[in-house]
A and B are shown apart, each in its own frame.
Chain A
Amino acid sequence: MTDLIFNVFILLTIIPCFWVALSSNIVHAAFSLLITLFGIAGLYVLLGADFIGVIQVIVYIGGILVLIIFGVMMTQRGKLLPLSIQLPGKLFGAVLTGVILAALLLSATRTLWPVAAVLGEPQLTSAAIGDLLLGKYLIPFEIASVLLLAALIGAVLIARRSVRGE
């Protein structure tokens, strides 16, 4: 049963990925990303990280992706702009991607990963994550909040400006 669910999530992750990278329609790409992100959330749960799986759904799908789709809608204005225009970078990009993929796959199989002999049973992780965020990683956590605050101020500033400028 677990194997079946695992395979379903793997397929949910992989198949839409190609649309994300290849589709000439930006709306299709954005919605394919939604399915991919959902598949990844499922895989996180199977990896014993229930909390991160839920956060993936909330932050990535509920936050970032909605933001992206809003961006698509705000900048489309009815007609879809042609996306693919011949540029010399394309062939280069394909070759580079091939080289990187080959290097990554080869290094993943060759490397002697220090895999643990016995995998621990998955446990509820939210308590442990909370402890670490308020303990060892308290300062990074606070720095992230300063980053988000400054990013918020800046994003509002830029958006406000352009509205007034019109």
Chain B
Amino acid sequence: MIPENFIQSNLQGISFIGPELILTLAILLILLVGVLLPYWRHRILFTILAVAGLAGSVLPLWKLPQPAPDLTYLSNLFVWDWLTFLSKPFFAVVGVLTILLTQVTGEIDNSEYSECTILVLAVTMGMMLLVASTDLLMIYLAFETMGILSYLLVGIRARDERSGEAALKYVLYGAFTSGTMLFGFSLLFGLAGSTDLLAISQKVAFASQHPQDRLLLIVAILFFLAGLLFKTASFPFHFWCPDVYEGAPTPITAFLSVGPKAAGFVLFIRLFYPLFATGHDATIYEAVSGLDWPSILALVSAITMTLGNLAAIHQNNLKRLLAYSSIAHAGYLLMGIVSLSDLGLRSVVFYLVVYLFMNVGAFAVVAMVASAGGSEEIDSYRGLGARAPYVCVAMAIFLFSLIGLPPFAGFVGKVYLFAAVIYKKIYWLAVVAALNTVISLYYYLRIVKAMFLEKPTETIQIQVPLSSRVLLLALLVPTLGLGIYWQPLARVVSGMF
């Protein structure tokens, strides 16, 4: 007999996973429409279904009770706190932007379009579950749902050589790192005898007092890091990133660079803060005694941003360049994680929101230029400013924001991240990050210079369809708006921790 209390718990918790249920319904609907109505296989139909599913998925959130840090549901598998509450709409926006970008750029064929939307929805569902999970079993399952299906998204254009090979790299490295992370989970399960993060955190705090157990904890932390650093594309698991980002269809690249990466950072917050940090007083955490993981991560952060920026200088392919820039940004974001304070966590979340718009924007421009007859090489951007002024101004704004220049949103995000490390007196990391910003200035401005200051090779105007212009506008508004009027977002974020 199934114990009555589990049935009760499942019935009560079902409303909390409303977003995921609606996404699953949308997946099934798209599948049915694709199979039953073969003559209706128009892109626009699937786009509408998918966007409606994603938009509908956030509706149940406002019906739910006030989030609280200890409000768990479904037998302690998930937690309903502010981080969960805000992450779900975030990932829904990521999904919507990806679907719209696929719709307006034609990089995915009609014959595989419905499957592509299904996969985007399923990965989004995985990310939504991942950020809410507080159980090692659920974390692993959601992590793999997100991971395995994104390997497929990368390889969806299998007839294209680059896409297939990128998917191959992604799947092998991904399986390797998630296997390593799983072994770390198994060690923690052994230590605590439970998969619940709360139970494990008590056990870890106890075990860290004993020198005998410390080695095990260090090994477990390092194994976790393999999975997390892979997903966030940080050193030493960053090497897949340029190849995969270049080989994948551009809308999917944009998706990977903000979706799974953000999920990786939220998982960082979920795993490291409850497990390996103590004390919530005065908004400052402390690493569990004897385990100096913040210093390790600070080093990783410095190396990641430096490697990313130095490698980006030599790139002539824009997708590759943005891939290295995305590695560098993983380094910047890690600064917020290592600062071990509420300020740091807030700055990570704030920057992730800002990064979503500016990075998807930059990739969107790359995809639009490529589909309007240009290429992804920097050569085809020479003199583009005269041929497609609107797109190029948009690109310049996204790039300025990625550099972190005022008055764009990236500037505010970076100020928060710098403030977090300076507040914790990790001055050397702030200096490294500042130097890196200077390096990044060079390669971002190289694109701007090519667009506006160099002679065009052709003079024909590039026609960008209206739908693309509207999508770009939708990305420009937050990139500019959050740079000038960021207080609402800052207020929302500061309520989280």
The reply to whether B152 and A154 form a contact with Cβ atoms under 8 Å apart is yes
B158 to chain A, nearest CB (A): 5
Interface residue A140 (Cβ < 8 Å from any Cβ of B) = yes
Whole-angstrom CA separation of A104 from B153 in the bound complex: 35
Please give, as numbers and ranges, the residues of chain B lying within 8 Å of A150 by CB-CB distance. Answer: 27, 118-119, 122, 149, 152
Whole-angstrom CA separation of A106 from B187 in the bound complex: 13
Q: Report the interface size for chain B: residues with CB under 8 A from the other chain.
A: 48
Interface residue B112 (Cβ < 8 Å from any Cβ of A) = yes
Please give, as numbers and ranges, the residues of chain A lying within 8 Å of B213 by CB-CB distance. Answer: 110-112
Within 8 A of B (CB), among A122-141: 131, 134-140
| Binary B-proximity of A108-123 (CB < 8 A = 1, otherwise 0) | 1011111000000000
Interface residue A144 (Cβ < 8 Å from any Cβ of B) = yes
The reply to whether A146 and B24 form a contact with Cβ atoms under 8 Å apart is yes
Interface residue B77 (Cβ < 8 Å from any Cβ of A) = yes
Interface residue B3 (Cβ < 8 Å from any Cβ of A) = yes
| Binary B-proximity of A142-153 (CB < 8 A = 1, otherwise 0) | 011011011101
B258 to chain A, nearest CB (A): 20
Closest to A164 in B: B159
A37 to chain B, nearest CB (A): 15
Interface residue A162 (Cβ < 8 Å from any Cβ of B) = yes
Whole-angstrom CA separation of A131 from B7 in the bound complex: 11
Interface residue B74 (Cβ < 8 Å from any Cβ of A) = yes
Please give, as numbers and ranges, the residues of chain B lying within 8 Å of A155 by CB-CB distance. Answer: 152
A116 to chain B, nearest CB (A): 9
Whole-angstrom CA separation of A135 from B155 in the bound complex: 36
Please give, as numbers and ranges, the residues of chain B lying within 8 Å of A108 by CB-CB distance. Answer: 216
Interface residue A158 (Cβ < 8 Å from any Cβ of B) = yes
Whole-angstrom CA separation of A158 from B163 in the bound complex: 11
The reply to whether A110 and B216 form a contact with Cβ atoms under 8 Å apart is yes
The reply to whether B145 and A136 form a contact with Cβ atoms under 8 Å apart is no
B20 to chain A, nearest CB (A): 8
The reply to whether A158 and B155 form a contact with Cβ atoms under 8 Å apart is yes
Whole-angstrom CA separation of A35 from B216 in the bound complex: 30
Partner of B138, one of A111, A140, A151: A140
Closest to A150 in B: B122
The reply to whether B156 and A147 form a contact with Cβ atoms under 8 Å apart is no
- With contacts A153-B115, A165-B159 known, is A112 near B210, CB below 8 A? yes
Please give, as numbers and ranges, the residues of chain B lying within 8 Å of A139 by CB-CB distance. Answer: 10, 13, 17, 74, 77
* A binding-site residues for B, Cβ under 8 Å: 103-104, 106-108, 110-114, 131, 134-140, 143-144, 146-147, 149-151, 153-155, 157-158, 161-162, 165
List 7 tightest A-B contacts by C-beta distance, closest first.
Answer: A135-B6, A154-B152, A150-B122, A107-B216, A107-B215, A135-B2, A165-B159
Mind listing 11 A-B residue pairs with CB under 8 Å? A111-B190, A112-B212, A136-B9, A136-B75, A143-B142, A147-B122, A147-B141, A153-B119, A154-B119, A158-B155, A165-B158
